[in-house]
Amino acid sequence: MRKYTNKFLRRADPPDSGIVANVNTQLASLPPHLLALSAFIIGSASALTARYAYVRYFRRTPNSDWVTPDLLAKRRWVKGYVTSVGDADNFRIYHTPGFGWRWPLKFRRIPAAAKDLKDRTIHIRLAGVDAPEGAHFGRPAQQFSQESLAWLKAHVEGKFVYCQLLRKDQYTRIVAFVHMKPWLLPGFLAPFTGRNVSLDMLRAGWVEVYEQSGAEYGKWGKDEFLRLQAEAQVAQLGIWKYGIGGESAADYKKRYASGSEIVDTRSGGNRASSSTSATSTTTRRQATKTGIMDRFARWVRRW
């Protein structure tokens, strides 16, 4: 009976009990200070890994002041929820790193009230494009500024976007390439397959290529931006409805900054008094289809 019981108990032992016993024996033979050092190293490595994961994937960047030169140098991508659209080429996002912001795993909340969003959003400026200026500080709005603003609102406001942070401009806004989440694909693919908002606005004709100092064109290059603009001009889309004449957004800002007369670069650099609005409907209608085709022909020859 005893032999049968011992045999039964031996069979009941787990198959890896010998391995565990061997490991325990080896650990017991190690010096205590070596065990303590090993535990310290493993604990430190785990803590550093956890901190890196938190900082990289879960810690919120509250506002533009928290966007460091290191993040810009690495051209880091961030995901955010568009809380408001101020002008036709800039808006604010609430940084939403990690997960938990959307169903079915929603356990983190995005503030809705303006007072709760104060100093808690990143001001984003679309890279590579310039939109018609709205009415600010007593200045009149440029033509099509409201239509351009409406286009951007319809496409990004109240949605999650993915922004590649490039640099800070003179207004501390973060110049960025903005991509939309690809249809039926996970969001992390947005930097590779998502639609670029700057390029989409150029195709629709609601912005022009930004060609001032510090312009960013990314992997597409300036030529691609100009090509899309030329196509919109030929098709008379958006701000090009009445032709290519009129004051550019850059010239509009320069005029009000200096108080000097208008330099209408779109119509050959002719000067006009500051009392004459180069953005009026009449001025745009004076730009003929012949001028459009001439510009398109120059673009074709360049290519």
Active site residues: 125, 133, 173
b/e for 28-39, b at 16 or more Cβ within 10 A?
eeeeeeeeeeee
Give the integer Cα–Cα distance in Å for 301 and 303.
Answer: 5
CA dihedral 98, 101, 104, 107 (to 10 degrees): 100
The residue written with tokens 């001032």 in the block is: 212
CB atoms within 10 A of CB 172: 12
> Nearest-CA neighbor of 86 among 141, 48, 123?
123
E strands present in the chain:
77-87, 90-95, 122-126, 129-130, 160-168, 174-180, 208-209, 262-264, 270-272
